[in-house]
Amino acid sequence: MRPEPEAAITGRPGLLVFDHAAEAAAHVGQIIADTLNRTPHTVLGLATGMTMLPVYEWLLTAKRDGRLSFSQATSFNLDEYIGLGAAHRASFATAMRRMLFDGSDFAPGRTHLPAGTTIDLDKEAARYEAAIRAAGGIDLQLLGIGRNGHIGFNEPGSAFDSTTRVVTLTEATRLANRGDFPGSQDVPRQAITMGIGTILRSWRIVLLATGSAKAAAVAHAWSGVPGPSCPASALQGHAAALFVCDRDAAAGISDWQHGGGSR
């Protein structure tokens, strides 16, 4: 059994800043690959979104080159829209198949997402939370960050001890995700997401942020007063969290070290 990390009372997550977004994504890919090569049965927490695409592309290249295998790993994704089946073109299940799963060698049944079309959604949320615990918890959790500081679909106001549950998405989040729903279909108004408390139980957390649109959220999350107005600020209470950013996303932070070094 691995030891549980000591909770940080004060302080900040680690921070690495790279000149370019591609360099930041490659570094995150290397962290995941190193983890899997050292511990092949790692439980990964995965995220969707365009920020993650170059990370998954890097990992698939490493897999094709024989430098990486997912064959003994398990994954749990952060979230899924309510009302979208796994085959829906805008579901996160479809996105993950396209971005990572179809090109990887994950064993059948070892990649998990919440089921957004289950009749009893609260029961599904409880089932997913229990499945994560039964797997031994998340060893390495990958996160993005929303412009309003959300992680997973934990919108501002989410409790730091929240578990997997049904959430209502803000209009800002729905607008940001509009590009995934071409045509007349509206972005769903609800989702099932891992809670902040679920995320904080992860052994290690790596948050990737790129682009100037994320700068304010990153600055608040990394060094602002922790609180529900910025869900990602909860990571300040985790002993093994790391922010990996490009210069644009880190523009609101005055003291940082260039890639390869960390605070």
**Which residues form the catalytic set?**
79, 148, 150, 155
Tokens 């290690």 — which residue?
204
Q: Which helix (H) or strand (E) holds 18?
A: strand 14-18
One-letter amino acid for residue 44 of the chain: L
- Contact yes or no for 129/141 (Cβ under 8 A): no
CA distance 230 to 34: 30
> Which residues face 209 on adjacent strands?
245
Sheet arrangement for strand 165-168: 79-81, 190-193, 165-168
The radius of gyration of the chain from alpha carbons, rounded to an integer in Å, stands at 17
DSSP for 133-166 reads HHTT--SEEEE---TT--BTTB-TT--TT--SEE
